[in-house]
Amino acid sequence: MTETELYSLWCENAKDDADLQRELAEIKGDTEAISDRFYRDLEFGTGGLRGVIGAGTNRMNIYTVRRATQGFADYLNQEYSNPSVAISYDSRIKSDVFSKAAAEVFAANGIKVYIYSELMPTPCLSFAVRALKCQGGIMVTASHNPAKYNGYKAYGEDGCQITLRGAEIIIEKINSLDMFTGVKTASFDEEVSKGNISFIGEDVIEDFYKHVLNEGINTDLCASSGLKVVYTPLNGTGNKPVREILKRIGITDVTVVKEQENPDGNFTTCPYPNPEIREALEVGLKYCAEVQPDLLLATDPDCDRVGIAVPDGKGGFALFSGNEVGAMLLEYICDQSVKKGIMPKNPVTVKTIVTTDIVNLIAEAYGVEVINVLTGFKFIGEQIGLLEAKGEENRYIFGFEESYGYLSGGYVRDKDAVNASMLICEMAAYYRTQGITLLQARENMYKKYGVFYQTLYSFTFEGASGMKRMEEIMTGLRTNHPAQIGGLKVERFEDYKAGISKNILTGETTELTLPKSNVLAFYLENGCKAIVRPSGTEPKIKTYLTAKAPTHEEAEVIEKNLYADFTQSMK
């Protein structure tokens, strides 16, 4: 069917959303606009859906949501007897509409639905899947993307995002469905009255809070610490749960950024609501100039990531990277667990392969096993599940990824900014009672283990020619990899697609045990490193650089040399 024919079909059949009808009328006769909306189907990837909100097969709307959910429902009914699902949603435009649309499809397919009565964070969805013994789950969110996006993450019965196998089956089923005639749907209100759709109760939310609080180590010190916090939920789901947890541990001097306090899918004051970037924190930093807190805390719209800024000692505020916060939390958890005698036997920490290697030194200092996994927090959750299957879940003490995601307990299987916000504030409160700022604590860590300076660069390659160039670059680095980068010798080369690790110095080759993935790693002398991988969702090659040196100044010089070499190879 041509794009014009699809457009006509939608004009005739997409009657359930007045906004879509208006948009379809507005683009009548606009060939380019029609083509952009109908030239392909919005893809259900390994994690679920994500796209621009609007009319058409290449947009997020109730019809693409229904079709994807029908495929998910067919998968659940194939794999399980009497399956059930949990659903949550964030503050984005139409998140509540999409969550109800998904619930209607599940219910029409005989699948019991548990749905939150108001917006709730991603970790609360993961928790509900496990607490209610569901076989699947949906979190309606586009994470930290701009306001024009929405999507949903699909979850399996373990509370992790859906497995690669599960995603492949769902995609196959979705592709066999007609957008309008292949989907079963029902009335939300009628299904509620029948008991096929139930609202998740306060008991589940309270149980989630209790599990988060159980992860505290020094929460008893918080109330008397005098810690002062500025907090912004970036108009997302973190407002209630994060503030509730902080209140319960005694952190009461919390100034909330009013402009970003309440749910707002337009993200008026932070067009790109990503706590990894300074732009999203600008309004909060203005509050900091007045309040002069010990800490600025910012959670993203679905409250699975958290970013921080701290006084820099020069009258301003310094942003910490995800690598730095994660490493500091691991050091804090290890140090305090050992001193309090609560460190489990044979403790385990889990990190992604692109996350800072300072973890290895911290873990070695405290006798902790490090497990490396591919990028994506579901692989960290998977490791918790493997420990749980052996009855060793208590060995897991912390897991994190460089992209601002952290988790210290096995009660959920995705990154949790409620848990992380509590731990960060507790850590700051503890250090405050010791007369140490977070800035000083970071410097103490670097004095102990050396400075690890990490940067991430994305090189964009648009269009078909760009995709071809990306392939050429990856092939070139794979088959004719450099002997040195930035003036530093390559000592070990790892190809995760081929599944091999080669010691350049000895020529010895060993097998990598991780799943195959298009990732290349170059281990350099003096503990430096470079990792290269294509983005799974954008026409970009991502390069993760690590410069290790005794001081920040030396590390920055090394990093510039590494970057200069990679800039040349990406042309």
- Beta carbons of 303 and 236 less than 8 angstroms apart: yes
- Beta carbons of 303 and 418 less than 8 angstroms apart: yes
What tokens does 347 get?
């403790």
Residue 370 CB coordination number (10 Å): 16
How far is 198 from 114, CA to CA, in rounded Å? Answer: 5
- Write the DSSP assignment of 363-406 as a string of letters: HHHHT-EEEEE-SSHHHHHHHHHHHHHTT-GGGEEEEEETTTEE
How far is 199 from 169, CA to CA, in rounded Å? Answer: 29
Place of tokens 């006769």: 29
How far is 262 from 282, CA to CA, in rounded Å? Answer: 17
Mind telling me the catalytic residues?
Answer: 143
Q: Between β-strands 317-319 and 306-311, what pairing exists: parallel, antiparallel or unpaired?
A: antiparallel
How far is 274 from 193, CA to CA, in rounded Å? Answer: 39
Among 331, 391, 328, 323, smallest CA distance to 355 is for 323
Enclosing H/E stretch for 530: strand 529-534
Compute φ and ψ for 161, nearest 5 degrees. Answer: -60, 150
What tokens does 298 get?
């910012």
Give the three-class secondary structure for 497. coil
- Beta carbons of 348 and 387 less than 8 angstroms apart: yes
